[in-house]
Amino acid sequence: MTETGQSGGPSNRVVILGALSAIAIATARIYATERAALVLAGRNAERLRALADDLRARGASQVEIAAVDLEAAAADAPKHMADWKTKLGGLDHVHVIYGYLGEQAKASADPAELARIVSSNYATAVQWCEAAANIMRVQKRGSVVAVSSVAGDRGRQSNYAYGSAKGGLALYMQGLAHSLAPTGARAAVVKPGFVDTPMTDRMKKGGPLWASPDKVARIIRRSADRGGPIQYAPGMWRLIMLMIRSVPTFVFHKTKV
Amino acid sequence: MSTRFHSTDRLTSWGRIVRAPHFVARPGFTDEIARLVSSFSSDDPGLAVGLRRSYGDSNLNPGGRVIDMTGLDRLIYFDSDTGIMRAEAGVSLSQALQVLVPRGWFLPTTPGTRFVTLGGAVANDVHGKNHQSAGTFGASVMRLKLHRTDGRPQEIAPGDPLFHATMGGLGLTGVIEWVEFRAVRVSSSEIEAHDMPFEHISEYFDLAASTKDAYEHSMAWVDCMAGGTKIGRGIFTAGNWATHGTLTPHQEAPRRRVPMDTPGLVLGRLMVRSFNSIRHDLKSMRTGPYRQHYEQFLYPLDAIADWNRLYGSEGFYQYQCVLPPETARAGTLRLLEIIMASGQASPLAVLKNFGPNPPVGLLSFPREGTTLAVDIRNRGEETLELMAKLDGIVADAHGRLYPAKDGRAPPGLFHAGYPKWREFRAHVDPGLSSAFWRRVSA
């Protein structure tokens, strides 16, 4: 499938942060079929163990689990990243997939909720990305891919806390890609639209705007190897968001989105 | 994040006749099952469902709650020396094959679609083209974990009465967390297949009898449009695993999709055209055996996603019965006569002989004899009248219908066809129910 793909082994050592989300699981399964070696980081050790068993049965050559609170551990990101690199015998791809949707109304009323949204989706995420990028910069190869959201493309009354943090993350990754460009390593950010996961079960689904976690995962996997720094998932969202960003303020302010 | 039940009006079974509101929960991890199951009660019973390939009402609980198990799709282990696989109930046969085939293993048996979950394969004790040698799926299940609303989760194995109630138990004996089964060795992912035309239904029975020891897999397509001396003509397809070759799993994606509901005519014309051209080729060229990937041989309809939409927005029924050997010849002829005369059925039906393997489950559908399956587009009253006539033949022939396909048969036919149903009823979890069960157990 890719240059680093099918053969797996020493060129396919991968860290996934937030490994228990539907998108992360789908991404990890792609790597498993490539016989990759993986570190799965997330909060729930029992669930990580179940996922690790699954990935081994599906072909992963090595699966390590790291049961950590990724927000709390971000301050020590360089140490953790070095540790995982040692466990895998090298580091080729790092995926930062965790995040926290939160609720805008709650965030407006409660500074702790607002802080958590910003911390999870931006402040700690970029600490992990930078720690990974520092390794890639030195070894002059490898990739850092973070997952943002189309919500980061225009501030909207219904979720501007989440949107601003995801938008900030995308800008950070764009800059990181620029910074890594001369070294041969790469950075990218993937912006999914509507994804059919348990997180979105409250919404009415169906129709062409909804993508499966598998579809988003394929774009994440591809972004680790090639393509521009900002990837929409699926690609049609680039056009949709261009239109949404182009709506004049006097019109936009009359909508409830 | 705890999983909750969300209201939906989109839930249908494969036949798309019943469309009823449901409250659906989609757990992502097995540690969520116990809490969801314990919220069910006899006042407000629930049901676990998988990929919803059952055609009628056995996988629906209208107005009530269902657990969509498809998010519980993790493999727990696979031992490539012994072929033993343990996996969560929401793992599809398709996913399992992706792991089994490259290592030289295959499912012990499989229905005509790979888009069923392991939980669904157990709950319907599914069968395939190799029933005569392999029996049903349940025959290869070694162990499973079951959550009941009225007790602690338990592991059950063959010999345990609850195990035999659960095989073919339509999900009513508890919610299955994982299934352990024994795969079978294959040396190739291809089948050496043989197509043999037959000119009359009686020739089908002769062919099936004379070839039964020569082929592991067999079934026949029957032309439902031909009458008179040609009634029940068709193509008998049989095959064995190739003894050498590559071990290549099927392509998971991409597949063709059906973009919208189409009137049943389209499917009918396509089917008849390809069927007649194959029959013509067979008769004129006398083609010998050919090699075919298991994907084409076992799962021809899986190439088209959502093929059920080809029957139009009113949905369709599939009528599937089995008749015992003593009555199969006369009974099948009579069924075909009625189907042909009605002009209502899909132009092609499927015939297959089941072997004498004793059933694993109390409600297992397969028994020794001949099974007939035919799609019938829903035209309301006249469709129900046609099926009522077919019911009469099945009852007289001491046959039975397949609950996975049924959405309307009278309870009496179920009771007569499944004499162990009362024994089964004693194992039903009072906190679980389905539209089917309420219909036949009332």
The arithmetic mean of pLDDT across residues A232-247, rounded, is: 93
Q: B285 near B363, Cβ under 8 Å? A: no
Q: Give the pLDDT confidence of B356-373 residue by residue, as tens digits.
A: 999 999 999 999 999 999
Q: Which domain holds residue A175?
A: 9-252
The answer to whether B77 faces chain A, any CB pair under 8 Å, is yes
Backbone angles phi, psi at B295, to 5 degrees: -60, -45
Determine the pLDDT at residue B10. 77
CA dihedral defined by A121, A124, A125, A128, rounded to 10 degrees? -170
pLDDT of residue B310: 80
Tokens of B364: 């297992």
Which has more pLDDT, A204 or B98? B98
- Pairing between strand B65-68 and B46-49? parallel
- Between CA B434 and CA B421 the distance in angstroms is 15
Using one digit for the tens of pLDDT, what is the confidence trace for B198-239? 999 999 999 999 999 999 999 999 988 888 999 999 999 999
- Of the candidates A44, A58, A202, the beta carbon closest to that of B75 is on A58
How many CB atoms within 10 Å of residue B211? 15
Structure tokens at A31: 């790597």
The answer to whether the beta carbons of residues A142 and A91 sit under 8 Å apart is yes
CB distance A57–B99 less than 8 Å? Answer: yes
Helix/strand/coil for B52: coil
User: Within a domain: residue A32?
Assistant: yes
For A96-150, what is each residue's pLDDT tens digit?
A: 999 999 999 999 999 999 999 999 999 999 999 999 999 999 999 999 999 999 9
- The pLDDT of residue A1 is above 70: no
Number of domains composing chain A: 1
DSSP 8-state class, residue B92: B
Please report which confidence band the pLDDT of residue B285 belongs to, taking 50, 70 and 90 as the band edges: low
Q: What are φ and ψ of residue B324, in 5° steps? A: -65, 160
Is a pLDDT exceeding 80 seen at residue B194? Answer: yes
Tokens of residue B148, six digits: 């009941």
> What's the mean pLDDT when you consider all of chain A?
93
A43: in domain: yes
Q: Is B76 on the interface with A (CB under 8 A)?
A: yes
Do the domain assignments include residue A3? no
The alpha carbon of residue A216 is apart from the nearest alpha carbon of chain B, in Å, by: 15
| Non-local CB neighbours of A225 within 8 Å, separated by 6+ positions | A2, A3, A4, A143
Average per-residue pLDDT for chain B: 92
Burial A60-93 (b: 16+ CB within 10 A, else e): bbbbbbbebebbebbeebeebbeebbebbebbbb
How does pLDDT run across B4-54, given as a tens digit for each residue? Answer: 899 988 789 999 998 889 999 999 999 999 999 999 999 999 999 999 999
* Confidence band for A9, pLDDT divided at 50, 70 and 90: very low
A4 pLDDT tier (thresholds 50, 70, 90): very low
The reply to whether A4 falls in a domain is: no
Whether the pLDDT of residue A51 is over 50: the answer is: yes
Specify the fold of B190-421.
Answer: Alpha-Beta Plaits (3.30.70)
Percent residues over pLDDT 90 in chain B: 80
Any domain includes A65? yes
For residue A2, is it within any domain?
no
| Burial class of residue B140 (count of CB atoms within 10 Å of its CB; 0-12, 13-18, 19+) | buried
Q: What is the ipTM of this complex?
A: 0.87
Quick one: pLDDT at residue B254? 53
Per the residue annotation, which of A122, A162, A172, A232 is the catalytic one?
Answer: A162
Which pLDDT score, from 0 to 100, does residue B302 have? Answer: 85
Contact assessment for residue B173 and residue B430, using Cβ atoms and an 8 Å cutoff = no
Query: Regarding beta strands A62-67 and A37-42, do their DSSP bridges make them parallel or antiparallel, or are they unpaired?
Result: parallel
Which CATH number is A82's domain given? 3.40.50.720
Peptide bond preceding A234 in cis form (omega within 30 of 0) = yes
Model-level pTM?
A: 0.92
pLDDT in tens, B397-433: 999 999 999 999 999 999 999 999 999 999 999 999 9
CB B23 within 8 A of CB B7: yes
Judge whether residue A5 has pLDDT over 60. no
Q: Can A162 be counted among the known catalytic residues?
A: yes
Q: Quick one: tokens of B310?
A: 């080809």
Neighbours of A203 (CB within 10 A): 10
Q: How far is A189 from chain B (nearest CA, A)?
A: 25
